[in-house]
Amino acid sequence: MTLAPAPIPVWRDGRLVPFDKIEAHRAGMKHRAVSVFVIAAGRVLIQRRAPGKYHTPGLWANSCCTHPQWGEAAADCARRRLAEELGISGLDPVAAGQVEYRADVGGGMTEHEVVEIFVARAATEPALAPDPDEVMAVRWIGLEALVAEVAAEPARFTPWLRIYLAEHRGAIFGR
């Protein structure tokens, strides 16, 4: 028996209500999200989204991102997804601000997200155990090298990562 995914918080009539995640993306509804950047030894961890993802498969993104479940605090969601997507535990993600964006993510879907950004810093690269249903590859890269890659080949990267780097880099990375 397959369980239906937990509902996510979307805005309807000026208030948050629980709603189906895929339907929210099909309708382009504004909803809550969480993005995490893991930074260690001066490099940021990025992931390539698994081929089976319902949107933006195979594109490079920030360390991890998701939607909080109905009633879930953003910080708890950030820690949960670090463990679920990347097998990372023991890091304490710190809130780095809120971003709202709207982007076409293909397949008739639109991300209209109000994102809580978190940064998890580590002295050394943490051990990783990526979930292959979520992540097809990971790599560590310096911020300036990442910015240069995104500028040179933007189609290889998710719309939200391009937006974060172009418009919110200082708030996320302190530069």
Q: Name the domain count of the chain.
A: 1
Residue 102 counted as domain residue: yes
Q: What backbone torsions phi and psi does residue 173 show, to the nearest 5 degrees?
A: -105, -5
Pairing of strands 43-49, 109-122: unpaired
Contacts of residue 14, defined as CB under 8 A and 6 or more positions apart, other chains included, come to none
**Residue 5: band (very low, low, confident or very high) from pLDDT cuts 50, 70, 90:** low
In this predicted model, what pLDDT tens digit does every residue of 10-55 receive, in sequence order?
778 788 767 777 887 787 788 899 999 999 999 999 999 999 998 9
160's tokens? 């939200």
Provide mean pLDDT across the span 61-75: 94
Indicate whether 65 pLDDT > 50: yes
Query: CA-CA distance, 67 to 25, in Å (whole number)?
Result: 11
Q: What is the pLDDT of residue 8?
A: 74
Mean model confidence pLDDT for the chain: 91
Residue 155 counted as domain residue: yes
Looking at per-residue pLDDT, the higher value among 130 and 70 belongs to: 130
Active site annotation includes 134: no
Contacts of residue 23, defined as CB under 8 A and 6 or more positions apart, other chains included, come to 29
Indicate whether 129 pLDDT > 50: yes
78's tokens? 């950030």
- pTM for the whole structure: 0.91
Find the catalytic residue in 64, 65, 77, 116. Answer: 65
Residue 55 counted as domain residue: yes
**Residue 2: band (very low, low, confident or very high) from pLDDT cuts 50, 70, 90:** very low
Residue 172 counted as domain residue: no
Are the C-beta atoms of residues 118 and 75 closer than 8 Å to each other? yes
Q: What is the pLDDT of residue 41?
A: 93
Indicate whether 1 pLDDT > 60: no
Other CB atoms closer than 10 Å to residue 100's CB: what's the count?
Answer: 10
Residue 140 counted as domain residue: yes
Residue 2 counted as domain residue: no
Domain that holds residue 103: 8-167
Find the catalytic residue in 64, 77, 85, 113. Answer: 113
- CATH number for the domain that contains residue 127: 3.90.79.10
Active site annotation includes 65: yes
